Amino acid sequence: MTIAGIEIDVVYKDVKNFNIRVGLPSGSVRVSVPKWVSEAEVCDAIKRRMPWIKQQRERILAAPQPSGFDLVDGEIHYAWGVPLTLKVIDYDRRAVVEIDGGYLVLYAKANTSTQKRREYLDRWYRDELRSVLPELIAKWERQLRVSVSHWKLRRMKTRWGSCNCETRQLTFNTELAKRPPECLKYVVVHEMMHYFERNHGKDFKSRMDVVLPGWRSRKALLNSVPIDFE
């Protein structure tokens, strides 16, 4: 669920009390609640603790973040699950990224900074997802007989996707362009399934078993490498 613009991962467990955790390094919020508590009570409890949650997130997000790769020749980057060797080529025109055999080639000006190279590559990954997501979403809208109001891309540190059940908006992690295509399919179906079941309980899993048999193996493949492996 989303409260005050912050995505909250709510998990129902055999516990007696609420437990709110703000995780490193992304400031993700996870709330463990007793199984018998209603959704309205969960929302009220989170809203009461929102000042503390925001304070913790501000502290975490203000901390220095790792810079990742240097974006130089020889680094291994992934595209749709395939490892590719990065090759950077001096180029006087507008920057271009493309796959050439076993290489991920970045054409950019000689004095391009590391940060700018990273921006070019991130933009390319986003474009890759934008090229396949509309058709994939449309297919599952037909099969599940639902309508996605809007979807967007965002780089997230701890989640592959999210669903706002109120606005029916879906959000997908840009890192998905680095995973095998079957992983993207799993995440699309998973998030759309939240239109029917908000939580990941027995009913949610039963529905997943019906519409996407073998989803557990896709999930395992997706999570076999950490999100921020680059």
pLDDT, tens digit, 9 for 90 and up, residues 56-71:
888 767 755 444 578 8
Decide if 101 is inside a domain: yes
Q: Which amino acid is at 23?
A: G
Q: What is the model's pLDDT at position 24?
A: 58
Tens of pLDDT, residues 132-155: 999 999 999 999 999 999 999 998
Q: What is the model's pLDDT at position 67?
A: 45
Same-domain status, 139 and 209: yes
Q: What is the model's pLDDT at position 26?
A: 64
Where in the sequence is the domain holding 151, given as residue range(s)? Answer: 130-222
pLDDT at residue 230 above 50?
Answer: no
Lowest average pLDDT, out of 7-11, 47-51, 78-82, 222-226, goes to: 222-226
Q: Give the total number of structural domains in the chain.
A: 3
pLDDT at residue 209 above 70?
Answer: yes
Same-domain status, 176 and 134: yes
Decide if 203 is inside a domain: yes
Decide if 185 is inside a domain: yes
pLDDT at residue 131 above 50?
Answer: yes
Query: Which of 108, 125, 142 marks a domain boundary?
Result: 125
Same-domain status, 8 and 55: yes
In sequence order, what E strands does 51-202 have?
76-79, 82-90, 96-100, 103-108, 150-154, 161-164, 169-173
Query: Residue holding tokens 């395939």?
Result: 82
End-to-end CA distance of the chain: 28
Determine the distance from the C-alpha atom of residue 28 to the mean position of all C-alpha atoms in its chain, rounded to a whole number.
12
If we measure between CA atoms, which residue out of 50, 9, 45, 51 comes closest to residue 28?
A: 9
Q: What is the model's pLDDT at position 66?
A: 45
pLDDT at residue 196 above 90?
Answer: yes
Determine the distance from the C-alpha atom of residue 190 to the mean position of all C-alpha atoms in its chain, rounded to a whole number.
12
Answer yes or no: are the C-beta atoms of 180 and 221 closer than 8 Å.
Answer: yes
Decide if 53 is inside a domain: yes
Res. 189 pLDDT band, cuts 50 70 90: very high
Q: What is the model's pLDDT at position 228?
A: 56
Choice between 106 and 16, residue whose per-residue pLDDT is larger: 106
Same-domain status, 171 and 95: no
pLDDT at residue 25 above 70?
Answer: no
pLDDT at residue 194 above 50?
Answer: yes
